[in-house]
Structure 1
Amino acid sequence: MKPYAIFLIGSAGSGKSTIGKRLATEYNFCYLDKDMVCNIFTGMLLEAKGYSPHERDGNPFYSEVVMDAEYTTLLHIANDNLQLGRSVVLDAPFLGYFSKRDYIRQLTAKYGWEHVTPFVLEVHVDFDVLKQRMAARGLQRDQWKIDHWQTFVEGIQSKRCLWEEIEIISFDNSPEEFELSRLQKLLPFSG
């Protein structure tokens, strides 16, 4: 069976990590969270340039220099697992790449993913629920989003994944409790 590359996308606080970890556990997939893979070196790079280690939103140094390094690192690790035949859950927003229609085609060519089945699992939640979840988790990296809520929401609403040649599965994670069985009905491998 071909390994799957699951691009798990959605806003911070949408429940991507909970869903990604459950999928990885249930199906024995590799789980890669961009923040866990990159946060230490990203924080150090930002501090070296005089920024807070959490200052990403609205930071041109992050968006123009650091972000690509984060995603390249994440994708290299994913590719190693996919080449071994192991499916991978990529837990990262990928927002900065949504407008690149040929993004998946480029990754397939770059990494030789002809034997890989990629798909997008887009997690979304009601914005009131999202704000409550972000406030409850109390992460410093969410503070800008909460302080600039309307701008943050408008940013989410304006960015749609435009990738071609890939199935996009949408999942509403607004309910208080995550139900794996509800998600499994949508997945191509759980048939």
Structure 2
Amino acid sequence: MKPVLIFLIGSAGSGKSTIGKKLATEHHFCYLDKDVLCNTFTGKLLETQGYSPHDRDGNTYYRDIVMDLEYETLLNVANDNLQLGRSVILDAPFVGYFHKSDYIDGLVSKYGWEQVIPVVLRVDVNMDVLEQRLRNRGLERDRWKLEHWDAFVQGIKANVCTWENIQLISVDNSSEELDLEQLTSQLPLAVTSLGS
């Protein structure tokens, strides 16, 4: 059976991690969170340049130098698992790559993923709910988002994933209860048959 690669996208605070972990547990996927993989190194790297270790939003050094390194690391780890036949969930925004319509084709070519089934699972959330979640979790890395709320929301609305040759599934996660069975039914047959 072909391994599935789920690009789990959505705003910070949308509930990507919760959904990703539930799906990974249910279907025995490898779950890779970019923050967990990269934050320690990224924080130290930012500090060497005189920035706060949490300074990503609006930071040109992070955007121009560090971000690509983070995503390359994430994708390399994903590739190791996919080559072993293990399906993978990537928990990362990928916003900086949404404008590249051939992004998925490029990854397929680079990594030889002709036998991989790529899927985008976009997690949407009501903006009022999102703001409250960010305030409630109280993370330093969310400070810029909350202090520049209108610009942050504008950015979310402006960033549309233009990737071609990939299935896009959307889930509204504004409610506190996620219907995992209903979400699973929308995923490719290869996903729903794993772990059964």
TM-score tier by shorter-chain length is: over 0.9
Offset, 1:129: 0.4
Instruction: Give yes or no for the alignment of 1:55 onto 2:55.
Output: yes
Distance 1:76 1:190 in 2: 25
Q: Give the corresponding residue for 1:2.
A: 2
Question: Aligned-pair RMSD on alpha carbons?
Answer: 0.8
Q: Deviations over 1:69-103 (max 9, x none)?
A: 00000000000000000000000000000000000
Deviation at 1:68, TM superposition (A): 0.1
Q: Can you give the 5+ residue segments of structure 2 that lack an aligned partner in the other structure? A: none
Q: What is the match of residue 172 of structure 1?
A: 172
Residue identity over aligned pairs, in percent, reads 65
The residue matched to 1:161 in structure 2 has which SS?
coil
Unpaired runs of at least 5, structure 1: none
Equivalent residue letter for 1:38: C
Amino acid at match of 2:181: S
Matches of 1:176 and 1:130, distance apart in 2: 12
Provide, for residues 12-34 of structure 1, a one-character-per-residue CA deviation record: whole Å limited to 9, x for no partner. Answer: 00000000000110000000000
User: How far did 1:67 drift?
Assistant: 0.1
| SS in structure 2 at match of 1:162 | coil
Cα distance in 2, alignment partners of residues 55 and 172 from structure 1 = 29
The letter for the 1-side match of 2:112 is G
Structure 2 Cα separation of the partners of residues 131 and 152 of structure 1: 10
Read off the aligned partner of 1:49 and give its amino acid letter.
Answer: Q
Q: Secondary structure at the match of 2:18?
A: helix
Matched, 1:36 2:36: yes
- When the two structures are aligned, how many residues end up with a matched partner? 191
- Structure 1 position 184, deviation (Å): 1.4
CA distance in 1, matches of 2:182, 2:59: 38
Q: Distance in 2 between matches of 1:42 and 1:177?
A: 33
CA distance in 2 between counterparts of 1:179 and 1:142 reads 27
Q: After superposition, where does 1:1-191 map in structure 2 within 5 Å?
A: 1-188=1-188, 189-190=191-192
Query: Structure 1-normalised TM-score?
Result: 0.98
- Matched position secondary structure for 1:155: helix
TM-superposed deviation, 1:179:
2.2
1:177 to partner: Cα distance = 1.8
Encode CA deviations 1:112-149: one digit per residue, 9 max, x unaligned: 00010001000010000000111111111011101110
Q: Distance in 2 between matches of 1:129 and 1:183?
A: 20
1:182 CA drift (Å): 2.5
Structure 1 residue 181, shift from structure 2 partner: 1.7
Q: Deviation per CA, 1:137-179: give whole Å up to 9, x if none.
A: 1111011101110000000000000000001101101111222
Report the Cα offset of residue 185 of structure 1.
2.3
